[in-house]
Amino acid sequence: MKSDPKECLYCQNGEALHNLMIEIATLTVSRVFLFKEQTYRGRCLVAYRDHVNDLNELSDEERNAFMADVARVTRAMQKAFNPEKINYGAYSDKLSHLHFHLAPKYVGGPDYGGTFQMNPGQVYLTDAEYQGLIDAIKANL
C-alpha cells in the first residue's frame, strides 16, 4: 500500500507525530526521533527525509546513506544505553513512509528474546527524563 504524502505522519510533521515521538536530530538523509513510549529504554525511530514507500525504491547511494544514518543512531544508542541488543523493525503496512524502529533490548527486560511490541503504552517519562535520553543520544551521534 502506497501512502499519500498529504496523509503521511512524517511528511505532515504535525501534532499526531509529535504526540508519539520527539525529534532529536536531522542526519544526512533522515530524521531521528525518540519514542515517547519508553518500555524499551532509549527506543528511537529513523525516518527517511523524503516520502519514499520502501527501501527498494532508493538508489544504491540513497540506500547506503540511509543505512549509514540508521547505523549511526544505533551506535549512539549502544554507547548511551549499553543494551544487550538493538532490534530493528521496518513494517510500514499502513504507513508506507520508509522508517526503521530501533528498540534496545536488555537481559531480563521487556520482551527480551522475542519481538518488541509496537506500542505497549506502559512507560511514559517526565520532560526531564526524555531530555536526559535525548542528551545521551545526541552526545554520541
pTM for the whole thing? 0.94
Residue 126 has pLDDT above 70, yes or no: yes
d(CA 14, CA 29): 20
Residue 137 is predicted with a pLDDT of: 98
3-state secondary structure 67-93: HHHHHHHHHHHHHHHCCCEEEEECCCC
- Res 9 pLDDT > 80: yes
- What pLDDT sits at residue 100? 97
Q: How many CB atoms lie within 10 A of CB 5?
A: 11
At 45, which CATH number?
3.30.428.10
Q: Among 1-15, 52-66, 78-92, 99-113, which stretch is predicted with the lowest mean pLDDT?
A: 1-15
Quick check: is 35 in a domain? yes
Residue 36 lies in a domain: yes
Task: Determine contact, residues 3/97, Cβ cutoff 8 Å.
Answer: yes
Please compute the mean of the pLDDT values over residues 111-127 and round it to a whole number: 95
Residue 86 has what pLDDT?
98
Report if residue 9 sits inside a domain: no
Which cell goes with 9?
A: 505522519
Q: Are strands 99-105 and 85-89 parallel, antiparallel or unpaired?
A: antiparallel
- Domain span at residue 102 reads 30-107+123-140
